[in-house]
Structure 1
Amino acid sequence: MGVGEDTLKTRRSLDVGGKTYDYFSLKAAEAELGDLSVLPKTLKVLLENLLRFEDGRTVTTDDVKAVAEWLKERRSDREIAYRPARVLMQDFTGVPAVVDLAAMRAAIESMGGDAKKINPLSPVDLVIDHSVMVDAFGNPQAFEKNVELEYARNKERYEFLRWGSTAFDNFRVVPPGTGICHQVNLEYLAKVVWTKEEDGRTVAYPDTLVGTDSHTTMINGLAVLGWGVGGIEAEAAMLGQPISMLIPEVVGFRLTGKLKEGTTATDLVLTVTEMLRKKGVVGKFVEFFGPGIREMSLADRATIANMAPEYGATCGFFPIDDETLAYMRATARPDDLVALTEAYAKEQGFWLDDVEPVFTDTLELDISTVEPSLAGPKRPQDRVPLSIAADAFDKALTKDFNVPDKAKSVQVKGADYAISHGDVVIAAITSCTNTSNPGVMLGSGLVARNAVARGLTVKPWVKTSLAPGSQVVSDYLAEAGLDDDLDKLGFNLVGYGCTTCIGNSGPLPEPIAEAITEGDLVACSVLSGNRNFEGRVNPHVQANYLASPMLVVAYAIAGSMHVNLLEDPLGQDPDGNDVYLKDIWPSNQEVIDTVRACVKKEMFLNRYGDVFKGDEHWQKINVSGGLTYDWDSTSTYVQHPPYFEGMQAEPGEVSDVRHARILAVLADSVTTDHISPAGSFKEETPAGRYLTDHQVPPREFNSYGSRRGNHEVMMRGTFANIRIRNEMAPGTTGGITRHMPSGEEMPIYDAAMRYAEEGVPLVVVAGKEYGTGSSRDWAAKGTRLLGVKAVIAESFERIHRSNLVGMGVLPLVFKDGQNRKTLKLTGEELISLGGIESGIKPRMDVPCTITRPDGSTEHVTLLCRIDTLDEVDYYRHGGILQYVLRRLAA
């Protein structure tokens, strides 16, 4: 995508190290826009984007001026068209995106168009990081065994991705076993300042991106503006469509002080997450400022930026400063790029200076007040101080898990121990949040070293795992000699990628799983991740706690959430002396010194020198197919999706929804994990029955996430999380509903198919924060394929709302304090929605008629959460992909 017309005449040149770069100057824009020095850094990035693409059509001078005028009200209702520099994908969300691109190529050919038109126009990097599972653990062979199983399970998916890497331009695939996409992005892919050759000139501009994973925000720690979008939006972005967005509110988070002895970046981010959730920053930018930033390593900043989805913000941004440049040098970025970054940032006002920006609102934290913490047992924002964690869990047994007999224990078959409520059965050093941070990773190794020296061991019922975010982590752990100590405690390498945090924890040992089931025990996991939603980590584990890698090691030794780590001994040394956490915890200075001594630039050069080559497993995969994909009708991983079947050159008329049935009535905080689970599933589920019918044995089911390229599996998995509760079917959990008017209980998928045969449209009713969680496009795709025309909720999470629109599903919000409870909705009602066929407008009122089983009616007004004119177009076309395809075909 080329630059625009530059009617404001802001194009300038910058000489750095003997090379000349063109750029679009914010200082030059001040002649027209006024003083921009106090504009938040994030909005300066958006403003530069608008200046560069201003063409009088998608971006106008009024759009540019609206960013400057934001300073008057500190908010704006202006819709802008934003074009990020690149797109980042992981394989769970990336596979269906490539499936959709392949389907679009097939569709455009069937419409008489040119398949070559379907190509990413923006650079796309897909990192395969979500497919490794922790089957083997606690032994030196665990890594090799898990790699072999990963390739065996994902052969069809990996063949498809290798085809995509050759068939599409501007599309690169980072092979399995390299690391987590966010850490690979932080350590290698991101440039901070991007450049592009255009008409013989080199144009410099901020590195910006969207990613198909909500934790894309991690790169904000490196001063790169990026956030997670649904795979649907990402596909549109890489096909050259601008991202339509309102100029956001920006909340400033002032940081002062520095971490006190015994606290970690994980404790800090859990505190920040709790504070921002209470503040309410959904749909807003968060920008960090204040003297505390200068006390933070870049890895600590990235840890805080990573959890922006957990605190609800679109991004959590840190500006460019000397620490940014130091990190770029330490990770082997080229010297000329570092020099350009410094010169460009200072010239454009992106550099961290003493000018305090103007924000919509602010809050403040003295970092020195942070205390050791966990978060759980069900949500990442529910911080629990370590000092009261044992008491808090005891209360949760009653309040959250309704346990009548807290002292219950069950003997484990073939073992000399029993397990009980609160025992930690999974201790996982996992997930991008912390595995990218050398401080807490080396810290966990130091805890392990000290524990081993005192003769401590991990409890036998704990499944331990170490899944670093990149191969560099293994290098610096080995350099420090700490890998052996972690191995001795069972924290052997299990893979490089997202494991336990996304539900790829693998099965528990059978005797442990049987004991949990037999006693209906509330077993626990402690993981260094960012997600602990119900049913996510492991089907046998109900209580999940987020913690630093250092505390993960400590809880593996303690073996129970009932142990107060600050007061109770972790165990005894060989002489019978009690050993406490304080006895094995390293000082902050020891951690800092270890990082300085053991994290080396050469490690990054070596590991990323040939990053797209892959190991021998990857290189052996056959690549078949040419410009269009040769679909295999027998594949259970990749199938031709039905989105474009029978599609005409022009969209049909949208219509009102008449006499729809309610498919599900759901409570508050229903996540995308509830709507579209990523983890394992059983034989008796609709997805399990489908695979069994296709001769796939249960041991080869893999996970929902790995089968996202097959809509038949994913439809059957929609609303099928084992923990989801549909209020239409009281007393049940899992994807169960009642078919109306028969009242018969059945799986949601089966009911949806029955309604489809009967020609009955469907709606879903929900509470607050509907769709919280990962940027899971299948939560919207599955909803659409089940025949759901609208979702009526009290509020929506940002990404899921836009994904629903992108799939042609109407997101509607209750008004005037009404909700499913005040309206006494049982799921037996008929729902009719009007005003649609007469013309959808952004945020319009939609009249809704509720018809009760006795024939009485009630009329209410709902708010349409189609927010922009672009989204109106997407909805009219039946979805964003149909809209793009028709434009390209024309």
Structure 2
Amino acid sequence: MKNPLNCLKEFKSLSSGKSGYIYSLKELEKQGIGNLKRLPVSIKIVLESVLRNCDGVLANEGDVKRLANWNAKQPGDYEVPFVVSRIVLQDFTGVPLLVDLAAMRDAAARQGKDPSVVEPLVPVDLVVDHSVQMDSAGSANSYNINLDLEFKRNSERYEFLKWGQQAFKTFSVVPPSTGIIHQVNLEYLARLVFESQVDGKTLFYPDTLVGTDSHTTMINGLGVVGWGVGGIEAEAGMLGQPVSFKVPEVIGVRVFGKLNDGVSATDIALTVTQILRNEKVVGKFVEFFGEGAKMLPLADRATIANMAPEYGATMGYFPVDEKTLEYMRLSGRSEEQISLIKDYFEEQGIFGIREDGECDYTKVVDLDLSKIRPCVAGHKRPQDRIELPDLKKSVSALLEQSGKSSSQKVSTNKGEISNGSVLIAAITSCTNTSNPSVIIAAALLAKKACEFGLKPPSYVKTSFAPGSRVVSDYLECAGLQKYLDEIGFNLAGYGCATCIGNSGPLEESVSKAVKENDLLCASVLSGNRNFEARVHAQIKANYLMSPQLVVAFALAGRVDIDMESEPVGVSKDGKAVYLKDIMPSSREVEECMANCIKKEMFAKRYSDMSGPKLWQAVESPEGALYKWNEKSTYIQNPPFFDAFTMGETTLPSLNSLRALAIFGDSVTTDHISPAGSILPESPAGRYLRENGVEVKDFNSFGSRRGNDRVMARGTFANVRIKNLIAGGVEGGYTKIDGEGENVYIFDACQAYAAQNRGLIVFGGRDYGMGSSRDWAAKGTSLLGVRAVVAKSFERIHRSNLIGMGILPFEFASGEDASTLKLDGTETFSISGLEGGITPAMSAKLKIERKDGTVDFANLLLRIDTPVEVEYYKRGGILPYVLKKILEK
């Protein structure tokens, strides 16, 4: 066991009876290295990892000393080599990651190496939660119908996952219909303190992680340092590489005041999202402190932490304290583990939420809980908070701006609908169902609605997809599920569902009415993202809100309503019923929670992880190497290692590039990455039909992420994306050489590839914001894009582009595609990198116009760290890591 900086110290947890060694932060401070008492807790936990892995390869003494001397006001400009304790995956991003591991084993075998050398070096847990769709909703049979369809659609993927579970020693799968990754992580996977054998000695260290879902940050509410990364970063982390990131600023959020009655955790989370997005916390750590933070229940902390990607932060961190331990006890963790956690965190000086002034922050932002009001966010961004009384005015303005009228009525088999009608009302998993307070509130509201005889209009597709089976247990214990059932919020599955676009179809006549009349209808969901076309391709206005408000708006059937002054419905005896008549008080919710949530529920659910009988019946191949099926339309051997050699890599030319696309601001990874349904006439749809797949069996892009042929064809194919080269029409189109008719982007790329022409993409501000979708970068690479030039990048996507061998540049002098008057007819070359690449270097964009004139623009290379330079020089992170493994 290495002993960097003489900080290895014996540790005894008297209350748990455990003993061994730790890398002591107190010992580090005794040596005069840094003033650790002033460091935020989140920085200290990262510092422990750097100290523990200080072997001269993963990290060195300079890395330790720089971070130990972190300066709040001027953190510096260096990379932190962060080695995590474990990895979590969801199945949409986890399947392609497993595909890449299988392909790496094939590549190792082709080099004459033992393929088993490719093995995760830290525990990897994959939670199958993204595959259930709301095909059926609002009936007693919805759960079983959706589960059966899930297994019929995904049998190949599930066979592959089971192969992975037997092929890799440190790879485990949490079966379908168990819950969502974040809630399972909170309730079951998180350890807070790891205990490992190193050189024959017991070593204790903090639970840290990265996950292939951007909302991995939900675990920050439990005091675990971790965040979302792309699959390619996660692969490096699970193969022992540091997850390198630029040293962050840490924004402290001082929480104080007391919540008013009826204000929900969702209201807090949406308010925090708006405040911190305005504070521009992208790429920064956020750490909550103060008396108000101490008082927040663990579930509320998790709800706020979940939204970190929405406010743009790397993390939204709450340190471990007594409420953390209470939650660990409630969720069935052993007393021995809880005692170990407290003793370890106290010994390291990282236990407890800080008071004002106890440590240094780059900036402090105030959050007064007493000023928070019930609210929603929409119609297409989570940071666009609207206080509940103002929603009607906001919707009216949206309709007016869109040239729509709420008085327009269209008949369907489900009743009359109009602009502003709610067509989808989903109590969906992410953010909220780990929080019993809002679920109980929704169920109590449903109970009161039933007593008044209220029901949603027939055109509202209602669904309930909790993030854990424990939710069903406490609702059953409270006797409340029957009321949700009565108004259509029947259990429809345990998974992400509507929040990620698996909302299923609208009723046929409703769908037809929306399409033929170009109606601007709405969805309401208790999720965390509402980007364009994310929830459903036909629904243009999407509003985030608490589960109780989801039920209320489902009852109203429309979003153009003032919930304070207008009734949500009419009772069975003809009286107007208002939201205040059915909204439960905070006291009612708390009393119900106290009586119905029990430790035994968690222990029972997580004692058996064998999954449903359908999962148990799945048969899979065995062996270290996967037996690829060339006829499979779900799982294919990707081309990322086709040119792999142990020698030098030839970097692609940046001369004579053609523009594939020119985008405006806020193009998200949902716009870029293949997601949602596959249209029959699209390139991906044509591919599937040519391979014998019927349209009814297309499934979603997410379910086919293990097949690069499908995914490349779906990149930049979102129905709402607007490419200015294509005249700004919606959909994945471009013009070849900027001229002629619009063609599918994939078809254009095929034409460019035949000419051996490299491609460039232009973007605006916040290019790549949104979920950590590795296919947004993988697909861009497979289409032949060599560089992306934008006004600014979101953190994860910028990193993933480099990880796939694509150079990200920012305009350095205020220009953009608009000011440069780019239209796609130009030829582009990038110079200035010929002498070798270094982080943040300058470059020059040469623009050769169709009329022969030439212009130039200054660029900043957004390769930020030396390790990113190495990734790019090897053609991406995957060949870089594979070469390092095979060199051992």
Bin of the TM-score, shorter chain as denominator length: over 0.9
Paired with 1:461 and 1:475, the residues of 2 have a C-alpha distance of: 30
Q: Which residues in structure 2 correspond to 1:482-881 (within 5 Å)?
A: 482-611=480-609, 613-740=610-737, 742-881=739-878
SS of corresponding position for 2:641? coil
Number of aligned residue pairs? 883
Q: Report the residue type matching 2:566 in the other structure.
A: D
Q: How much has 1:203 moved relative to structure 2?
A: 1.2
Q: Report the residue type matching 1:690 in the other structure.
A: Y
- Partner residue in 2 for 1:364: 366
- Partner residue in 1 for 2:227: 227
- Partner residue in 1 for 2:394: 392
SS of corresponding position for 1:220? helix
Paired with 2:23 and 2:874, the residues of 1 have a C-alpha distance of: 35
Residues 395-428 of structure 1 deviation map (CA, whole Å, 9 limit, x = unaligned): 11233xx22444322111x45x311000000000
Q: Report the residue type matching 2:399 in the other structure.
A: L
Q: Report the residue type matching 2:444 in the other structure.
A: L
Given that residues 660 and 831 in structure 1 are in contact (C-alpha distance below 8 angstroms), is that contact kept between their aligned partners in structure 2?
A: yes
- Partner residue in 2 for 1:86: 86
SS of corresponding position for 1:364? strand
Q: How much has 1:522 moved relative to structure 2?
A: 0.5
Paired with 2:196 and 2:584, the residues of 1 have a C-alpha distance of: 46
Q: Which residues in structure 2 correspond to 1:358-437 (within 5 Å)?
A: 358-399=360-401, 402-412=402-412, 414-415=413-414, 417-437=415-435
309-318 vs 57-66, which moves further: 57-66
- Partner residue in 1 for 2:45: 45
Q: How much has 1:741 moved relative to structure 2?
A: 5.7
Paired with 2:313 and 2:451, the residues of 1 have a C-alpha distance of: 43
Tell me the TM-score normalised to structure 1 length: 0.98
Residues 333-387 of structure 1 deviation map (CA, whole Å, 9 limit, x = unaligned): 1111100111111121211243622011110011111000000000000001101
Over 3 Å counting, the alpha-carbon distance change for 1:71 and 1:731 in structure 2 is: closer
Unaligned regions of 5+ residues in structure 1, if any?
none
Is 1:350 the counterpart of 2:350? The answer is yes
Q: Report the residue type matching 1:249 in the other structure.
A: E
SS of corresponding position for 2:604? helix
Q: Which residues in structure 2 correspond to 1:311-326 (within 5 Å)?
A: 311-326=311-326
Paired with 1:620 and 1:746, the residues of 2 have a C-alpha distance of: 44
Q: How much has 1:651 moved relative to structure 2?
A: 2.8
Paired with 2:576 and 2:738, the residues of 1 have a C-alpha distance of: 65
860-869 vs 207-216, which moves further: 860-869
Q: How much has 1:836 moved relative to structure 2?
A: 2.8
- Partner residue in 2 for 1:451: 449
Q: Report the residue type matching 1:29 in the other structure.
A: L
Given that residues 72 and 250 in structure 2 are in contact (C-alpha distance below 8 angstroms), is that contact kept between their aligned partners in structure 1?
A: no
Q: How much has 1:84 moved relative to structure 2?
A: 0.5
Q: How much has 1:788 moved relative to structure 2?
A: 0.1
Over 3 Å counting, the alpha-carbon distance change for 1:628 and 1:500 in structure 2 is: same
Paired with 1:405 and 1:579, the residues of 2 have a C-alpha distance of: 26
- Partner residue in 2 for 1:305: 305
Is 1:198 the counterpart of 2:193? The answer is no
SS of corresponding position for 2:313? coil
Q: Report the residue type matching 1:393 in the other structure.
A: V
Q: Percent identity?
A: 52
Over 3 Å counting, the alpha-carbon distance change for 1:236 and 1:731 in structure 2 is: closer
Q: How much has 1:311 moved relative to structure 2?
A: 0.3
Given that residues 652 and 786 in structure 2 are in contact (C-alpha distance below 8 angstroms), is that contact kept between their aligned partners in structure 1?
A: no
496-505 vs 3-12, which moves further: 3-12
SS of corresponding position for 2:391? helix
Paired with 1:405 and 1:482, the residues of 2 have a C-alpha distance of: 38
Q: How much has 1:275 moved relative to structure 2?
A: 0.3
Q: CA RMSD in A?
A: 1.2
SS of corresponding position for 2:286? strand
Paired with 1:862 and 1:71, the residues of 2 have a C-alpha distance of: 29
Residues 165-202 of structure 1 deviation map (CA, whole Å, 9 limit, x = unaligned): 11111000000000000000000000111211223322
Residues 77-107 of structure 1 deviation map (CA, whole Å, 9 limit, x = unaligned): 1212110000000000000000000000011
- Partner residue in 2 for 1:25: 24
SS of corresponding position for 1:805? helix
Is 1:151 the counterpart of 2:148? The answer is no
Q: How much has 1:728 moved relative to structure 2?
A: 0.8
- Partner residue in 2 for 1:264: 264
Given that residues 95 and 161 in structure 1 are in contact (C-alpha distance below 8 angstroms), is that contact kept between their aligned partners in structure 2?
A: yes
Given that residues 46 and 82 in structure 2 are in contact (C-alpha distance below 8 angstroms), is that contact kept between their aligned partners in structure 1?
A: yes
Q: Which residues in structure 2 correspond to 1:133-144 (within 5 Å)?
A: 133-144=133-144
Paired with 2:843 and 2:822, the residues of 1 have a C-alpha distance of: 18
Is 1:889 the counterpart of 2:886? The answer is yes
Given that residues 74 and 359 in structure 1 are in contact (C-alpha distance below 8 angstroms), is that contact kept between their aligned partners in structure 2?
A: no
Tell me the TM-score normalised to structure 2 length: 0.98
Given that residues 676 and 718 in structure 1 are in contact (C-alpha distance below 8 angstroms), is that contact kept between their aligned partners in structure 2?
A: yes
Q: Report the residue type matching 2:488 in the other structure.
A: G
Paired with 2:57 and 2:464, the residues of 1 have a C-alpha distance of: 51
- Partner residue in 2 for 1:476: 474
Q: How much has 1:18 moved relative to structure 2?
A: 2.4
Over 3 Å counting, the alpha-carbon distance change for 1:367 and 1:545 in structure 2 is: same
Q: Report the residue type matching 1:265 in the other structure.
A: A
Given that residues 254 and 289 in structure 2 are in contact (C-alpha distance below 8 angstroms), is that contact kept between their aligned partners in structure 1?
A: yes
Q: How much has 1:5 moved relative to structure 2?
A: 3.5
Given that residues 305 and 316 in structure 2 are in contact (C-alpha distance below 8 angstroms), is that contact kept between their aligned partners in structure 1?
A: yes
Given that residues 654 and 836 in structure 1 are in contact (C-alpha distance below 8 angstroms), is that contact kept between their aligned partners in structure 2?
A: no
SS of corresponding position for 1:203? strand
Q: Report the residue type matching 2:494 in the other structure.
A: Y
Paired with 1:697 and 1:80, the residues of 2 have a C-alpha distance of: 49
SS of corresponding position for 1:339? helix
Given that residues 760 and 786 in structure 2 are in contact (C-alpha distance below 8 angstroms), is that contact kept between their aligned partners in structure 1?
A: yes
Paired with 2:181 and 2:738, the residues of 1 have a C-alpha distance of: 47
Given that residues 159 and 623 in structure 1 are in contact (C-alpha distance below 8 angstroms), is that contact kept between their aligned partners in structure 2?
A: yes
Paired with 1:127 and 1:9, the residues of 2 have a C-alpha distance of: 36
Q: Report the residue type matching 2:833 in the other structure.
A: I
Q: How much has 1:872 moved relative to structure 2?
A: 0.6
Over 3 Å counting, the alpha-carbon distance change for 1:817 and 1:8 in structure 2 is: farther
Q: How much has 1:64 moved relative to structure 2?
A: 1.1
Given that residues 650 and 886 in structure 1 are in contact (C-alpha distance below 8 angstroms), is that contact kept between their aligned partners in structure 2?
A: no
